[in-house]
Amino acid sequence: MRNIKAFTREERAKALKELGLPAFREKQIFAWICRGAKSWDECTDLSKDLRRQLAERFSWDNAAAELVQTSSDGTRKFLLRMPDGERVEAVFMAYEYGNSLCISTQVGCNMGCSFCASTIGGRIRSLESWEMLEEVVVCVRESGEPINHIVLMGMGEPFDNYEAVAGFLRTVHDPQGLGLSYRNITLSTCGLVPGIRRFGEEFPQVNLAISLHASNQQAREKLMPVAKAYPLPELMRACRDHAEKTGRRVTFEFALIEGQNDTPHTAKELADLLRGMLCHVNLIPLNPVTETGMTGSSRKAAAHFRDMLESMGIPATVRRQLGADIDAACGQLRKKVTS
Protein backbone atom coordinates (compact mmCIF):
# COMPACT_ATOMS: atom_id res chain seq x y z
CA MET A 1 0.00 0.00 0.00
CA ARG A 2 1.39 3.40 -0.93
CA ASN A 3 1.85 6.08 1.71
CA ILE A 4 -0.50 8.98 0.97
CA LYS A 5 2.22 11.44 2.02
CA ALA A 6 4.69 10.15 -0.57
CA PHE A 7 2.73 11.54 -3.52
CA THR A 8 3.35 14.95 -5.05
CA ARG A 9 0.21 17.10 -4.83
CA GLU A 10 -0.52 16.53 -8.51
CA GLU A 11 -0.13 12.76 -8.20
CA ARG A 12 -2.34 12.71 -5.14
CA ALA A 13 -5.03 14.79 -6.83
CA LYS A 14 -4.95 12.39 -9.76
CA ALA A 15 -5.17 9.29 -7.56
CA LEU A 16 -8.12 10.77 -5.65
CA LYS A 17 -9.85 11.82 -8.84
CA GLU A 18 -9.62 8.25 -10.07
CA LEU A 19 -11.59 7.30 -6.99
CA GLY A 20 -14.23 9.81 -8.01
CA LEU A 21 -13.38 12.33 -5.29
CA PRO A 22 -13.61 16.09 -5.84
CA ALA A 23 -10.46 18.22 -5.99
CA PHE A 24 -10.91 19.83 -2.57
CA ARG A 25 -10.26 16.47 -0.90
CA GLU A 26 -6.60 16.68 -1.86
CA LYS A 27 -6.38 20.14 -0.28
CA GLN A 28 -7.88 18.82 2.95
CA ILE A 29 -5.51 15.86 3.09
CA PHE A 30 -2.48 18.02 2.27
CA ALA A 31 -3.45 20.41 5.08
CA TRP A 32 -3.61 17.51 7.56
CA ILE A 33 -0.21 16.25 6.46
CA CYS A 34 1.22 19.73 7.06
CA ARG A 35 -0.46 19.96 10.46
CA GLY A 36 1.17 16.74 11.55
CA ALA A 37 -1.89 14.51 11.79
CA LYS A 38 -0.80 11.01 12.82
CA SER A 39 -3.47 8.93 11.15
CA TRP A 40 -6.43 8.99 8.81
CA ASP A 41 -8.62 9.19 11.88
CA GLU A 42 -7.31 12.63 12.74
CA CYS A 43 -8.53 14.03 9.41
CA THR A 44 -11.80 15.05 10.95
CA ASP A 45 -13.16 17.00 8.00
CA LEU A 46 -13.38 13.73 6.06
CA SER A 47 -16.36 11.57 6.93
CA LYS A 48 -15.73 8.32 8.79
CA ASP A 49 -16.75 6.37 5.74
CA LEU A 50 -14.39 8.24 3.50
CA ARG A 51 -11.55 7.83 6.00
CA ARG A 52 -12.15 4.08 6.05
CA GLN A 53 -12.31 3.91 2.27
CA LEU A 54 -9.04 5.87 1.91
CA ALA A 55 -7.29 3.87 4.63
CA GLU A 56 -7.98 0.70 2.64
CA ARG A 57 -6.07 2.11 -0.30
CA PHE A 58 -3.35 4.32 1.16
CA SER A 59 -1.29 4.04 4.30
CA TRP A 60 -0.61 7.05 6.53
CA ASP A 61 3.06 6.59 7.49
CA ASN A 62 4.72 8.84 10.02
CA ALA A 63 8.12 9.87 11.24
CA ALA A 64 8.25 9.57 15.02
CA ALA A 65 10.18 11.72 17.47
CA GLU A 66 12.09 9.03 19.31
CA LEU A 67 14.19 11.30 21.47
CA VAL A 68 14.15 15.01 22.16
CA GLN A 69 17.15 16.55 23.90
CA THR A 70 17.13 20.12 25.15
CA SER A 71 20.34 22.10 25.45
CA SER A 72 21.05 24.59 28.24
CA ASP A 73 20.66 27.32 25.58
CA GLY A 74 17.17 26.10 24.62
CA THR A 75 18.24 24.37 21.40
CA ARG A 76 16.35 21.13 20.89
CA LYS A 77 17.61 18.12 18.99
CA PHE A 78 15.06 15.68 17.62
CA LEU A 79 15.95 12.13 16.76
CA LEU A 80 13.40 11.09 14.16
CA ARG A 81 12.64 7.56 13.16
CA MET A 82 11.41 6.99 9.62
CA PRO A 83 8.91 4.21 8.86
CA ASP A 84 11.69 1.89 7.61
CA GLY A 85 13.56 2.32 10.91
CA GLU A 86 16.29 4.67 9.64
CA ARG A 87 16.96 7.69 11.82
CA VAL A 88 17.95 11.30 11.22
CA GLU A 89 18.37 14.33 13.43
CA ALA A 90 16.80 17.78 13.19
CA VAL A 91 17.70 20.75 15.36
CA PHE A 92 15.37 23.50 16.57
CA MET A 93 17.00 26.83 17.45
CA ALA A 94 15.47 30.03 18.81
CA TYR A 95 17.05 33.26 17.58
CA GLU A 96 16.11 36.88 18.22
CA TYR A 97 14.65 37.05 14.71
CA GLY A 98 12.62 33.85 14.92
CA ASN A 99 12.84 30.08 15.17
CA SER A 100 15.04 28.08 12.84
CA LEU A 101 14.89 24.42 12.10
CA CYS A 102 17.94 22.62 10.74
CA ILE A 103 16.93 19.51 8.84
CA SER A 104 18.74 16.50 7.38
CA THR A 105 18.50 15.52 3.73
CA GLN A 106 20.10 12.06 3.86
CA VAL A 107 20.71 9.26 6.33
CA GLY A 108 24.49 9.55 6.60
CA CYS A 109 26.54 11.26 3.91
CA ASN A 110 28.90 10.26 1.13
CA MET A 111 30.98 13.41 0.92
CA GLY A 112 33.71 12.30 3.32
CA CYS A 113 34.67 15.67 4.83
CA SER A 114 37.40 14.90 7.35
CA PHE A 115 35.98 17.01 10.20
CA CYS A 116 32.30 16.02 10.05
CA ALA A 117 30.46 13.36 12.06
CA SER A 118 27.66 12.93 9.53
CA THR A 119 29.86 11.20 6.98
CA ILE A 120 31.30 8.55 9.29
CA GLY A 121 29.88 5.29 7.94
CA GLY A 122 28.89 6.84 4.62
CA ARG A 123 25.45 7.36 3.14
CA ILE A 124 22.82 4.82 4.06
CA ARG A 125 20.12 6.34 1.86
CA SER A 126 18.65 9.61 0.72
CA LEU A 127 15.49 10.96 2.28
CA GLU A 128 12.37 11.44 0.21
CA SER A 129 10.65 14.83 -0.01
CA TRP A 130 7.85 13.80 2.31
CA GLU A 131 10.34 12.59 4.94
CA MET A 132 11.98 16.03 4.99
CA LEU A 133 8.52 17.57 5.37
CA GLU A 134 7.91 15.18 8.27
CA GLU A 135 11.03 16.53 10.00
CA VAL A 136 9.40 19.96 9.90
CA VAL A 137 5.86 19.03 10.88
CA VAL A 138 6.91 16.65 13.65
CA CYS A 139 9.25 19.27 15.17
CA VAL A 140 6.52 21.92 15.00
CA ARG A 141 3.99 19.57 16.55
CA GLU A 142 6.30 18.33 19.30
CA SER A 143 7.79 21.70 20.20
CA GLY A 144 4.54 23.63 19.90
CA GLU A 145 6.54 26.43 18.27
CA PRO A 146 6.22 27.92 14.81
CA ILE A 147 9.17 27.68 12.43
CA ASN A 148 10.21 30.88 10.66
CA HIS A 149 13.35 29.65 8.94
CA ILE A 150 14.46 26.33 7.59
CA VAL A 151 18.10 25.53 6.99
CA LEU A 152 19.14 22.45 5.04
CA MET A 153 22.32 22.04 7.06
CA GLY A 154 21.75 18.80 8.90
CA MET A 155 23.00 15.39 7.92
CA GLY A 156 23.56 14.78 4.22
CA GLU A 157 24.48 16.68 1.08
CA PRO A 158 21.35 18.30 -0.43
CA PHE A 159 22.73 18.29 -3.98
CA ASP A 160 23.44 14.57 -3.72
CA ASN A 161 19.64 14.29 -3.42
CA TYR A 162 18.57 17.13 -5.69
CA GLU A 163 15.16 15.97 -6.90
CA ALA A 164 13.81 15.12 -3.45
CA VAL A 165 15.18 18.35 -1.99
CA ALA A 166 13.56 20.37 -4.80
CA GLY A 167 10.23 18.64 -4.14
CA PHE A 168 10.55 19.41 -0.43
CA LEU A 169 11.30 23.09 -1.08
CA ARG A 170 8.23 23.42 -3.29
CA THR A 171 6.08 21.74 -0.66
CA VAL A 172 7.14 23.89 2.31
CA HIS A 173 6.73 26.95 0.10
CA ASP A 174 3.23 25.91 -1.00
CA PRO A 175 0.80 28.57 0.33
CA GLN A 176 -1.75 25.87 1.14
CA GLY A 177 0.80 24.11 3.32
CA LEU A 178 3.39 25.88 5.47
CA GLY A 179 3.66 28.81 3.06
CA LEU A 180 7.25 29.51 3.99
CA SER A 181 8.90 32.20 1.90
CA TYR A 182 11.86 30.99 -0.16
CA ARG A 183 13.85 33.84 1.36
CA ASN A 184 13.46 32.18 4.75
CA ILE A 185 15.12 29.00 3.56
CA THR A 186 18.87 28.39 3.33
CA LEU A 187 20.49 25.44 1.62
CA SER A 188 24.08 24.52 2.35
CA THR A 189 26.30 22.52 0.02
CA CYS A 190 29.84 21.23 0.22
CA GLY A 191 30.29 22.44 -3.36
CA LEU A 192 28.67 20.21 -5.98
CA VAL A 193 28.91 22.65 -8.88
CA PRO A 194 26.21 21.20 -11.18
CA GLY A 195 23.79 21.35 -8.27
CA ILE A 196 24.69 24.98 -7.54
CA ARG A 197 24.08 25.94 -11.17
CA ARG A 198 20.75 24.15 -11.42
CA PHE A 199 19.63 25.52 -8.08
CA GLY A 200 20.37 29.08 -9.21
CA GLU A 201 18.05 28.54 -12.16
CA GLU A 202 15.25 26.82 -10.28
CA PHE A 203 15.35 28.43 -6.82
CA PRO A 204 16.91 31.88 -7.20
CA GLN A 205 15.25 33.14 -4.03
CA VAL A 206 16.46 30.43 -1.68
CA ASN A 207 19.65 31.41 0.18
CA LEU A 208 22.75 29.52 -0.81
CA ALA A 209 25.51 28.66 1.64
CA ILE A 210 28.79 27.07 0.61
CA SER A 211 30.92 25.05 3.00
CA LEU A 212 34.30 26.43 2.06
CA HIS A 213 36.63 25.87 5.05
CA ALA A 214 39.83 26.48 3.09
CA SER A 215 41.32 29.33 1.09
CA ASN A 216 43.21 27.36 -1.55
CA GLN A 217 42.80 24.17 -3.54
CA GLN A 218 45.52 22.20 -1.78
CA ALA A 219 44.19 22.89 1.70
CA ARG A 220 40.59 22.28 0.64
CA GLU A 221 41.41 18.94 -0.96
CA LYS A 222 42.92 17.75 2.29
CA LEU A 223 39.75 18.55 4.23
CA MET A 224 37.10 17.85 1.62
CA PRO A 225 37.39 15.12 -1.06
CA VAL A 226 34.69 16.93 -3.10
CA ALA A 227 37.31 19.55 -3.98
CA LYS A 228 39.01 16.99 -6.24
CA ALA A 229 35.89 16.61 -8.32
CA TYR A 230 35.03 20.33 -8.30
CA PRO A 231 38.19 22.37 -7.86
CA LEU A 232 38.12 25.73 -6.12
CA PRO A 233 38.33 27.96 -9.23
CA GLU A 234 35.32 26.18 -10.72
CA LEU A 235 33.41 26.46 -7.45
CA MET A 236 34.19 30.15 -7.11
CA ARG A 237 33.08 30.79 -10.68
CA ALA A 238 29.74 29.12 -9.96
CA CYS A 239 29.35 31.19 -6.77
CA ARG A 240 30.13 34.48 -8.52
CA ASP A 241 27.68 33.62 -11.29
CA HIS A 242 25.07 32.73 -8.67
CA ALA A 243 25.45 36.02 -6.80
CA GLU A 244 25.30 38.00 -10.02
CA LYS A 245 22.37 36.15 -11.44
CA THR A 246 20.23 36.14 -8.30
CA GLY A 247 21.40 39.44 -6.82
CA ARG A 248 21.62 37.62 -3.51
CA ARG A 249 24.48 37.27 -1.11
CA VAL A 250 26.22 33.90 -1.04
CA THR A 251 27.19 32.73 2.44
CA PHE A 252 30.52 30.99 2.92
CA GLU A 253 30.83 28.77 5.95
CA PHE A 254 34.28 28.55 7.35
CA ALA A 255 35.02 26.23 10.27
CA LEU A 256 38.16 27.44 12.03
CA ILE A 257 40.64 24.74 12.95
CA GLU A 258 43.27 25.73 15.46
CA GLY A 259 46.64 26.51 13.90
CA GLN A 260 45.48 25.26 10.51
CA ASN A 261 43.13 27.70 8.79
CA ASP A 262 42.87 30.51 11.33
CA THR A 263 46.12 32.27 10.43
CA PRO A 264 46.65 35.77 8.98
CA HIS A 265 47.89 34.10 5.80
CA THR A 266 44.58 32.23 5.39
CA ALA A 267 42.59 35.39 6.09
CA LYS A 268 44.48 37.23 3.35
CA GLU A 269 44.09 34.37 0.87
CA LEU A 270 40.38 34.11 1.67
CA ALA A 271 39.87 37.84 1.23
CA ASP A 272 41.59 37.65 -2.17
CA LEU A 273 39.39 34.73 -3.15
CA LEU A 274 36.15 36.51 -2.27
CA ARG A 275 36.94 40.10 -3.12
CA GLY A 276 34.28 41.86 -5.18
CA MET A 277 31.65 39.19 -4.67
CA LEU A 278 28.29 39.78 -2.97
CA CYS A 279 28.95 37.50 -0.05
CA HIS A 280 29.24 36.98 3.66
CA VAL A 281 31.55 34.72 5.66
CA ASN A 282 30.12 32.75 8.54
CA LEU A 283 32.92 31.75 10.86
CA ILE A 284 32.52 28.94 13.32
CA PRO A 285 35.17 27.43 15.56
CA LEU A 286 35.27 23.77 14.55
CA ASN A 287 33.05 21.73 16.82
CA PRO A 288 34.58 18.68 18.42
CA VAL A 289 33.95 15.30 16.78
CA THR A 290 35.85 12.69 18.73
CA GLU A 291 36.96 10.66 15.71
CA THR A 292 38.59 13.57 13.84
CA GLY A 293 41.28 14.60 16.31
CA MET A 294 40.99 18.24 15.20
CA THR A 295 40.60 21.16 17.56
CA GLY A 296 38.55 24.26 16.96
CA SER A 297 39.99 27.76 17.30
CA SER A 298 39.09 29.73 20.41
CA ARG A 299 36.28 32.34 20.26
CA LYS A 300 39.01 34.94 20.63
CA ALA A 301 40.99 33.62 17.66
CA ALA A 302 37.75 33.48 15.66
CA ALA A 303 36.97 37.11 16.51
CA HIS A 304 40.47 38.07 15.44
CA PHE A 305 40.06 36.21 12.15
CA ARG A 306 36.77 38.04 11.58
CA ASP A 307 38.47 41.40 12.23
CA MET A 308 41.17 40.56 9.71
CA LEU A 309 38.57 39.73 7.05
CA GLU A 310 36.54 42.85 7.83
CA SER A 311 39.61 45.03 7.59
CA MET A 312 40.13 43.67 4.08
CA GLY A 313 36.55 44.51 3.15
CA ILE A 314 34.98 41.06 3.51
CA PRO A 315 31.82 40.97 5.65
CA ALA A 316 32.13 38.27 8.29
CA THR A 317 30.53 37.18 11.54
CA VAL A 318 31.32 34.55 14.12
CA ARG A 319 28.33 32.32 14.43
CA ARG A 320 26.80 31.76 17.83
CA GLN A 321 27.41 28.22 18.88
CA LEU A 322 24.20 26.50 19.83
CA GLY A 323 23.52 23.05 21.16
CA ALA A 324 27.10 21.81 21.58
CA ASP A 325 26.28 20.22 24.95
CA ILE A 326 23.84 17.86 23.22
CA ASP A 327 26.03 17.29 20.14
CA ALA A 328 23.59 19.31 18.06
CA ALA A 329 26.08 21.83 16.70
CA CYS A 330 27.31 21.98 13.08
CA GLY A 331 28.98 18.80 11.97
CA GLN A 332 27.96 16.86 15.04
CA LEU A 333 24.83 15.23 13.68
CA ARG A 334 25.16 11.55 13.11
CA LYS A 335 22.94 8.57 12.62
CA LYS A 336 23.51 6.84 15.94
CA VAL A 337 20.54 6.16 18.17
CA THR A 338 21.50 8.34 21.13
CA SER A 339 24.34 10.75 21.54
330 forms part of the interface with ligand SAH (CB under 6 A): yes
List the one residue out of 177, 94, 93, 91 whose CA is nearest residue 129: 177
- Give least dist CB 172 to ligand SAH, A: 17
In single-letter form, the type of residue at position 89 comes to E
- Give least dist CB 261 to ligand SAH, A: 12
- Give least dist CB 113 to ligand SAH, A: 6
189 forms part of the interface with ligand SAH (CB under 6 A): yes
For residue 149, report the phi and psi dihedrals to the nearest 5 degrees: -135, 145
Report the distance separating Cα 41 and Cα 321, nearest Å: 41
In eight-state DSSP terms, residue 163 is H
In single-letter form, the type of residue at position 265 comes to H
Those residues with Cβ within 8 angstroms of residue 24's Cβ, 6 or more apart along the chain or in another chain: none
157 forms part of the interface with ligand SAH (CB under 6 A): yes
Residue 216 CA from chain centroid, whole number: 26
34 is catalytic: no
- Give least dist CB 77 to ligand SAH, A: 14
Nearer to ligand SAH among residue 188 and residue 261 (C-beta) = 188
330 is catalytic: yes
Nearer to ligand SAH among residue 36 and residue 331 (C-beta) = 331
Nearer to ligand SAH among residue 136 and residue 190 (C-beta) = 190
- Give least dist CB 4 to ligand SAH, A: 29
Nearest-CB residue for ligand SAH: 331
Nearer to ligand SAH among residue 9 and residue 213 (C-beta) = 213
Grouping H, G, I as helix, E, B as strand and the rest as coil, residue 281 is: strand
**Helices (H), ranges, the chain:** 9-18, 24-35, 48-57, 129-143, 162-173, 193-202, 217-223, 226-229, 232-246, 264-274, 299-311
Q: Residue 293, Cβ neighbours under 10 Å: how many? A: 9
153 forms part of the interface with ligand SAH (CB under 6 A): yes
Question: Active-site residue among 89, 131, 135, 157?
Answer: 89
Footprint of ligand SAH on this chain (CB under 6 A)?
111, 113, 115-116, 153, 157, 188-190, 211, 253, 255, 284, 286-287, 289, 330-331
User: Which residues participate in catalysis according to the annotation?
Assistant: 89, 330
